[in-house]
């Protein structure tokens, strides 16, 4: 077919295939449209998923000038981000850490990023009751007040290690060390009232069980996950009993689930479950909070005004949630307190 000239316009003939010049075949165009739509939907789903996983955010702008905050396990992960936020609010932040070299690096970074030079480090090994006792003595001798105690440090699903005191490590670090520390610091918490104690627990307390006849797996075979659940349930029960004993003192106690977070806490998981470890390194990362996102509920419990009447409660995603039935057992909470006191050699402090 020949082309024709009409006035100043050049009229081109239709191609033999029936498609217009420069336009893709219908099949190709439809495929590209479908692929583009699929990619767009996938990106939207990822954004929505990440927002849902991120959970609640603490929007409270309360300042903490003149207040002193103590955070355990503060040189990495959510502990470090918690310290950064609290330092940004003007608080004196005491970072209690086992590794002083890493702690000083983290503290200096926080000082630079917040402009708050009142960030200090102190040595604390929660696996050693001697270290906890010495830390508390030095703190009481050198500090004037304690407004917020954040028991953040923890270990997760480590091998069956026994501490110098003869305790299984997860129960020692996650519960007994913090139990002793909190009790030793109660005089200063009371004198600084209104003050708060925040215990970082986990949703893993669901399904946990306190085996009072064999807390340290001396008789039965050791299960890393079973031990972790027991220690996290102990955090919830400790908070509940602490709140009951401190009623009317001006000291409030809260516990929380921070979420599943990309931190060093997960380092032992891949050893027990290689497949899970591999998944966490790739697409599984989309399913985990960042340390900043993970510290939001801790901050909420630490600074949100008006929470005093919720003392003893459990929080997640910056909102009060109902703990598992095993975490609401008042008799187990009382018995755990008594057994913990015996194990760490503590006479009743409250």
What's the CA gap between 149 and 182, in Å, rounded?
Answer: 8
Q: Is-contact 311 333, C-beta < 8 A?
A: no
For 204-218, b where at least 16 C-beta lie within 10 A, e where not — what string? bbbebebeeeebbbe
Phi, psi of 21 (to 5 degrees): -60, 135
What's the CA gap between 49 and 37, in Å, rounded?
Answer: 18
DSSP 174: I
Phi, psi of 148 (to 5 degrees): -140, 125
Query: Sign of the C-alpha dihedral, residues 317, 322, 323, 328?
Result: positive
Phi, psi of 199 (to 5 degrees): -105, 120
Parallel, antiparallel, or unpaired for β 92-97 and 119-123?
A: parallel
Cα–Cα distances (Å) from 59 to 6, 253, 305, 313, in that order, read 70, 21, 12, 20
Three-class secondary structure of residue 48 per DSSP:
helix
Which is nearest to 198 in space by CA: 92, 57, 295, 55?
295
Cα–Cα distances (Å) from 47 to 6, 33, 56, 295, in that order, read 54, 21, 15, 20
What's the CA gap between 297 and 155, in Å, rounded?
Answer: 19
What's the CA gap between 92 and 83, in Å, rounded?
Answer: 10
State the catalytic residues.
228
Q: Is-contact 93 82, C-beta < 8 A?
A: no
């Amino acid at each position: 077919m020949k082309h024709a000239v009409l006035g100043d316009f050049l009229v081109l003939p239709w191609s033999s295939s029936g498609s217009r010049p420069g336009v893709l075949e219908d099949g190709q165009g439809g495929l590209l449209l479908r692929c583009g739509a699929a990619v767009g939907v996938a990106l939207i789903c990822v954004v929505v998923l990440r927002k849902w996983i991120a959970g609640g955010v603490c929007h409270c702008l309360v300042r903490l000038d003149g207040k002193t905050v103590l955070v355990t396990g503060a040189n990495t992960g959510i502990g470090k981000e918690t310290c950064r936020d609290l330092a940004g609010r003007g608080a004196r932040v005491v970072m209690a850490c086992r590794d002083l070299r890493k702690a000083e690096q983290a503290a200096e970074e926080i000082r630079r990023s917040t402009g708050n030079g009142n960030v200090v480090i102190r040595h604390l090994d929660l696996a050693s009751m001697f270290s906890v006792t010495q830390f508390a003595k030095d703190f009481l001798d050198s500090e004037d007040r304690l407004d917020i105690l954040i028991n953040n440090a923890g270990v997760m699903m480590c091998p069956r290690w026994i501490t110098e005191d003869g305790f299984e490590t997860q129960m020692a670090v996650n519960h007994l060390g913090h139990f002793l520390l909190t009790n030793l610091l109660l005089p200063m918490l009371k004198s600084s009232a209104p003050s708060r104690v925040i215990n970082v627990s986990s949703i893993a307390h669901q399904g946990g069980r306190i085996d009072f006849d064999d807390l340290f797996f001396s008789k039965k075979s050791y299960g890393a996950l079973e031990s972790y659940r027991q220690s996290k349930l102990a955090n919830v029960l400790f908070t509940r009993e602490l709140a009951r004993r401190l009623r009317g003192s001006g000291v409030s106690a809260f516990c929380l689930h921070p979420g599943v977070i990309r931190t060093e806490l997960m380092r032992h998981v891949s050893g027990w479950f290689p497949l899970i470890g591999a998944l966490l390194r790739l697409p599984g990362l989309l399913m985990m909070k960042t340390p900043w996102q993970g510290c939001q509920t801790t901050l909420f419990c630490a600074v949100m005004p008006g929470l005093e009447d919720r003392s003893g409660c459990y929080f997640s995603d910056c909102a009060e949630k109902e703990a598992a039935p095993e975490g609401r057992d008042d008799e187990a909470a009382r018995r755990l307190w008594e057994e913990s006191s015996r194990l760490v050699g503590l006479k009743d402090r409250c």
